Amino acid sequence: MNLNLFPKWIANPSVAGVGLQSLLTWPFLLLAAVIVALALGGVSDTLLMALALIGVLGIGRDITALHRARAERQQIEQQYQMLFREMLDGFALHELIFDAQGQPVDYRFLAVNPAFERLTGLKAETLVGRTVREVMPGTEQHWIDTYGRVTLTGEPALFENESQELGRSFKVTAFRPAPGQFACIFTDITERKQAEAQANALQDYLRCVLDSLPSHIAILDHQGMILDVNEAWKDFADNNALAVTHYCIGQNYLAICEAATESEKTAAGIRAVINRQIGNFTLEYPCHAPDEQRWFLLRVTPFMGLGPASVILTHTDITERKRVEEQITHLAYHDALTQLPNRVLLTDRLQQAMAQVQRDQQQLAVCYLDLDDFKPINDALGPVEGDRVLIEVAQRLKACVRAGDTVARMGGDEFVLLLGDLPNIEECERALDRVLTALQAPFSAAGLSLSLTASLGVTLYPDDAADPDALLRHTDQAMYAAKQAGGHRYHWFDADHDRRARRHRELLQQVEAGLAAGEFRLYYQPKVDMRTGAVIGAEALIRWQHPDEGLLPPARFMPTVETSDLAITLDCWVIQETLRQMTVWAAMGLHLRVSVNVCGRHLQQLDFVARLRTVLARYPTIPEDGLELEILETAALDDIAAISRLIEACRQLGVRFALDDFGTGYSSLTYLQHLPVQVLKIDQSFVRNLLADADAHAIVEGVIGLSAAFRREVIAEGVETDAHGSRLMQLGCMLAQGYGIARPMPPEQIPGWIADWTPPAAWANAAG
């Protein structure tokens, strides 16, 4: 920083007037004399030597003071250099240039600080010593005149300047530091000016939007005075006789509403929003006139634009909406063709009727009616004549019931009747007979005479203590039962059958959820050769680890599952889990053939073999004949040829087949001859009774004989005692499984059981 550029303007009153002294602080004033000396030629050393000489002559100053003065001067100079360099506002010192007549025509840059360079993008080396017209030729004369007045009069100026060339806006403080010079402090206000411009544009935009809205809008202050309204408000107030509640700017809207009895609710709502007791207020109200009635929607919301207590009112004409709503309401609750109650209104009336029955201790009959074979009639007559018939049906049904009863149309040719306050079933049946008789009376349509019949499903509430939806569902089920019985009748809903069906559905849902949650387990029951004592394999048996009921056997859920496609999903899980467990055992050195049960529904799937091939490919270490599929004899009998082809295809994959529960179906020699299974399993019911029932003994003996004749392996399941095993061996059956050998167990217990297994001594005697 060259302090020679700053004359004695530091203490100038003009500078003090614009606050520059507060910026430069008092130490600079103390060094004013030094700065002047520097400005006059940089004779600081001469001056200090003169001061030292004066000290020598006896003025009382010594050489120590001289050195202190020099150090202080250097420190202060450094401080002001730093101030000049680090100040955030731009600073520029100029020299005014006059023409021959003494008029200001230009000015020259004498010094600028770094902040000025940052704000303007102009560098000191390109400015200092040059005039503004050289740097910015587009500078307008009025700015030079403004700075000229400051320089000539000494009166500081404060103004805002938008520089088109720099694309920025500044707040400028101009003052005269010395004759012929002026200095400027530039504060960047570009962002503020942009924000103001945006705010002004937004205000203009909002005004335009406000005036373009069709709703009547007014802004009130905290006392209820109307501060502003839009054009729609003005037009309505000026030109409409209904505008009894619309007022002009300057009137107290709230006071007028409070004075009007019919507007007390409006006034209370507005007052509550003004006091911020509620966030907003909405009211629909009518405006009456001699020739018409119109509806308006009033909305009152806080308006923060004019202070925290103002609100904005919006009056919207909703007359047309009200008319449409009335039509929609009717259509929403009534059938468009017959004008009968529809499903929505029926549900409401059903709920009311159920509540009435509870109070009066009576009965309510819910009847679902479907016209028999109406579709062919409608197709033959055409939709127009078909609709006329439906309208006539609706009228006849209404004539068959009492005034307090309900006839509703569900759609198509389906209707529902609610017959309330029934003292007994006979009263209901008489009403239903009237309905069937009324519909048989000839209808005239398209020049033809035709009769109709109907099927009705009926249930009684509260005997059938279900909810409204369930009651309708029950009557729908009963109606289909009536149709299956031939039509033209009514059928009473069977609640016990429905409860069984509902439990069936719920159990299937629980099984599906349990499978997804990983609640199912496989237990394994060993199979042994009773003659040698060798463990020849195991059967995988599913269990359900129910979160509430504990470990459930398959009898608790499989009978239900096997009636649905969920059985296929469960089968797939069992096969994959079995193969996974066999792989685990194989890694331990234990190689067991494992059999799994497969349901007939699964076997009938066209992709059964392909899916089995895919899952086997995931476990390549499973040996050939390691997996055995057990199928029920009854499933195989459904289509012996198809099942035979499937078994042959699976055998190509290395999968064995066993015929489970053999003897419970319709076994025949032809059947065994054509079914390529490797194993016959004697049903456990015969094995258990082997020692006490001659017929069971004969069947077991016959199955063993058949297996030998057709070269099939035979295994007995259900061996519960040593004696059962001994007798089976005497009859020629050496393979067995059952509780007398081992109960099904978790897979981790199988290796230990095999290690500890010892066959009974009685079997060794039987084998000998």
* Residue 643 banded pLDDT, cuts 50, 70, 90: confident
Query: Which stretch of 88-102, 456-470, 491-505, 692-706 has the lowest confidence by average pLDDT?
Result: 491-505
Provide, for the chain, the percentages of residues in helix, strand and coil under a 3-state DSSP scheme, each rounded to the nearest 5. 50, 25, 25
Cβ-based neighbours of 268, under 8 Å, separated by 6 or more: none
The mean pLDDT of the chain is 84
Which pairing describes strands 293-302 and 281-288: parallel, antiparallel, or unpaired?
antiparallel
- Angstrom distance (rounded) from CA 360 to CA 420: 10
Report the pLDDT value the prediction gives residue 4, as an integer from 0 to 100: 43
Most confident of 538-547, 634-643, 678-687: 538-547
Q: Which is nearest to 689 in space by CA: 681, 701, 704, 705? A: 701
Task: Answer with the residue of higher pLDDT: 339 or 244.
Answer: 339
Q: What pLDDT does residue 490 have?
A: 93
Strand partners of residue 108: 95, 131
Which of 749, 750, 762 minimizes the C-alpha distance to 719? 762
* Dihedral sign, Cα of residue 614, residue 619, residue 620, residue 624: negative
Higher pLDDT residue, 93 or 48?
Answer: 93
Q: What is the pLDDT at residue 204?
A: 81
The gap from C-alpha 742 to its chain's centroid, in whole angstroms, comes to 52
For residue 131, the model assigns a pLDDT of: 94
Q: What is the mean pLDDT of residues 504-515?
A: 93
DSSP codes, 63-111: HHHHHHHHHHHHHHHHHHHHHHHH-SSEEEEEEEEE-TTS-EEEEEEEE
DSSP 190-202: HHHHHHHHHHHHH
Cα(416)–Cα(456) distance, integer angstroms: 9
More confident residue, 141 or 495: 141
Measured distance CA(267)–CA(626) in Å, rounded: 88
Q: What whole-number distance in Å separates Cα of residue 316 and Cα of residue 299? A: 8
Most confident of 229-243, 270-284, 566-580, 753-767: 566-580
**Would you give the DSSP letter of residue 58?**
I
Both tokens of 53, joined, read 């000489």
Q: 163: closest CA among 186, 130, 131?
A: 186
pLDDT of residue 663: 67
What φ, ψ does residue 55 adopt, rounded to 5°? -65, -40
Residue 216 near residue 233 (C-beta atoms within 8 A): yes
Give mean pLDDT, residues 404-414.
94
Does residue 33 register a pLDDT over 50?
no
Contact 688, 718 (CB under 8 A): yes
Q: Do 192 and 242 touch, CB atoms closer than 8 A? A: no
Q: Which two tokens stand for residue 581?
A: 């467990």
pLDDT of residue 289: 64
Examine the pLDDT at 47 and tell me if it is beyond 70.
Answer: no
Inform me whether the pLDDT recorded for 253 exceeds 50: yes
E-only strand ranges, 390-519: 406-411, 414-422, 443-445, 448-450, 454-461, 489-492
Nearest CA to 248 among 238, 258, 262, 263? 238
b/e 440-472 (16+ beta carbons within 10 angstroms → b): eeebebeeeeeebebbbbbbbbeebebebeebb
Query: What's the average model confidence in pLDDT over 148-152?
Result: 92
pLDDT, position 571? 95
User: Beta-carbon neighbour count of residue 496 at 10 Å?
Assistant: 7
What is the pLDDT, as a whole number, of residue 587? 94
Give mean pLDDT, residues 447-470. Answer: 91
Q: How far is CA 72 from CA 31, 63, 78, 431, in A?
A: 9, 14, 10, 120
Instruction: Extract the tokens encoding 421.
Output: 């306050």
Confidence of residue 43 (pLDDT cuts 50, 70, 90): very low
Do the strands 104-112 and 448-450 form a parallel or antiparallel pair, or are they unpaired? Answer: unpaired
Picking from 270, 323, 261, 272, the residue whose alpha carbon sits closest to that of residue 298 is 270
Q: In whole angstroms, how far apart are CA 668 and each of 177, 415, 548, 659, 673? A: 128, 54, 46, 13, 9
pLDDT surpassing 90 at residue 553: yes
- Cis amide linkage into residue 462, ω under 30° from 0: yes
- pLDDT grade, residue 353 (50/70/90)? very high
What single-letter amino acid sits at 395? Q
Which residues fall within 8 angstroms of residue 436, CB to CB, at 6 or more apart?
A: 453, 454, 456, 488, 489, 490
Query: Does the pLDDT of residue 137 top 80, yes or no?
Result: yes
pLDDT digits (tens, 9 = 90+) for 240-249: 654 444 567 8
User: Which tokens in the block code for residue 197?
Assistant: 């411009």
Question: Cα(742)–Cα(375) distance, rounded to whole angstroms?
Answer: 63
Residue 98's nearest CA partner among 152, 159, 60 is: 152
Which of these ranges, 115-124, 255-264, 601-610, has the smallest mean pLDDT? 255-264
The residues, ordered by sequence, that sit 6+ positions from 228 with a Cβ below 8 Å of its Cβ are 218, 219, 249
- Paired tokens of 247: 């007022």
Which residue type occupies 311? V
Q: What was the pLDDT predicted at 88?
A: 84
In the prediction, which pLDDT does 75 show?
82
* Lowest-confidence segment of 83-92, 214-223, 301-310, 573-582 by average pLDDT: 301-310
